[in-house]
Structure 1
Amino acid sequence: MASSLPKLALKGSSKIVTDYFEFAIHSILFQRGIYPAEDFITVKKYDLPMVVSCDDEVKAYIRKIMEQVKKWVYGGKLSKLVVVIINKATTESMERWEFDLDINDTEGTNEKSKQQIQKEIQAIIRQITASVSYLPFLQDDVYTFNVLVYTDPQYDPKNIPTEWADTNGDAKMIDGEAEQVKFTTFSTDIHSVGTSVSYKLG
């Protein structure tokens, strides 16, 4: 499906989507206190002050993920990216931040400006930031995170880089009662991204 789309437009849209994933992950790690606040710096993106980790190990890990994610987005192979917040001691999944990716049916019928796309992303980033007001408190240094990606079932496993492990059906779902909050979506001329968070109750 993606192969029939204009390469330049597809490349630009894939970058917008991947950039959003990357900045959203950094924002989640900061807002949820997965790493100390002093491990983050503020940069300007989407005409907003955005926080990104300044820890070399964390930056390298996220950047490595995004390099491959961008290829999958460009190739039309990625349908969902999930950031799972996990209790280090119990390995219990406490939160699942889901980013659903769809390819739009309408090809270039209504071209969106960068400003329009940016406004939509701004709204989601603000919702992620505001989520700390209702999400359960997470104790410092007790949690870590995993990144899961859902790819096309027809995708040849031989093409998956060795550093990516097959979950073998373990989607790291939340056990017990959970609440889900859906945020607004954003779209380019080619892609549409939905964002939501599910969190464990009690």
Structure 2
Amino acid sequence: MATSQAPTRQAITLKGSTNLVTEILFQRGVYPSDDFHMVKKYGQTVLVTQDLALENYLDRILKQLNKWLLTGSVTQLVLAIISKDTRLPLERWVFDVNLVEQPADSTEPTPAKPESEIQAEIRYILKQIVSTVTFLPIIDTPTVFNILAYTHDSADVPADEWVDTDPLAIEASKSQQVKLRSFSTDLHRIEAMVAYRYEG
């Protein structure tokens, strides 16, 4: 990757990542609604947490994620919602991260994707996250969440903040999956889906 292009090409922004995670935590009731307030971003109203501990945690985790995104080190991000009592994973929000490759025979760099277009795509996926409450099972038990990052072996992983862990998968026989809208920047294409525990 040419370093001269890095400052001008649009990557997934830290704010964009934070907004997606915050929206999921709010919509799925992981934190009380009083812990959030509305602000205007991406041309629409989005949620921001007022819980200082949660804000600091997300800031620390997502700053590292941002570094991995910019170096092409991360391949997948998972937000797992887990039952606080049984520790069973109830939902897995999966974001597959694919690097957008420049055509090998191209001598000219690909034109930068307009920021307005990137923001529109983030708006669409935020709306889709909001709409998931219409089909995802109601969670009526206290929950916690875990953020999992899948990286290449060569990634620089801070040992004091990230550890190898259980993938928190939901058994295939008890899982339903819904593909969400994808979005892309100059550097990445993100394919999103949610898997949820379904015991019908």
> What is the TM-score normalised by the length of structure 1?
0.89
Residue of 35, 52, 64 corresponding to 1:56: 52
Match runs of 1:41-80 below 5 Å: 41-80=37-76
How far apart, in 1, do the equivalents of 2:17 and 2:153 lie? Answer: 22
Match runs of 1:1-202 below 5 Å: 2=1, 6-10=5-9, 12-14=10-12, 16=13, 18-106=14-102, 108-139=109-140, 142-155=142-155, 159-167=157-165, 170-175=166-171, 176-202=173-199
What's the offset of the Cα at 1:201? Answer: 0.4
Please report the RMSD computed on the Cα atoms of aligned residues, expressed in angstroms. 1.7
5+ residue gaps, structure 2, are 104-108
5+ residue gaps, structure 1, are none
Report the secondary structure of 2:123's partner residue: helix
Q: What is the aligned length?
A: 193
- The structure in which a higher percent of residues are helix is 1
User: After TM superposition, which residue ranges in structure 1, 4 or more long, deviate above 4 angstroms?
Assistant: 2-5
Report the secondary structure of 1:13's partner residue: coil
What's the offset of the Cα at 1:4? Answer: 5.7
Instruction: Name the amino acid aligned to 1:186.
Output: F
How far apart, in 2, do the equivalents of 1:57 and 1:111 lie? Answer: 36
- Is 2:82–2:89's contact at 8 Å kept on the other side of the alignment? yes
Instruction: Name the amino acid aligned to 1:173.
Output: A
Identical columns (%)? 35
Match of 2:106 in 1: none
Deviations 1:74-103 (A, max 9, x none): 111011110000001111000000111111
How far apart, in 2, do the equivalents of 1:179 and 1:55 lie? Answer: 31
How far apart, in 2, do the equivalents of 1:32 and 1:103 lie? Answer: 29
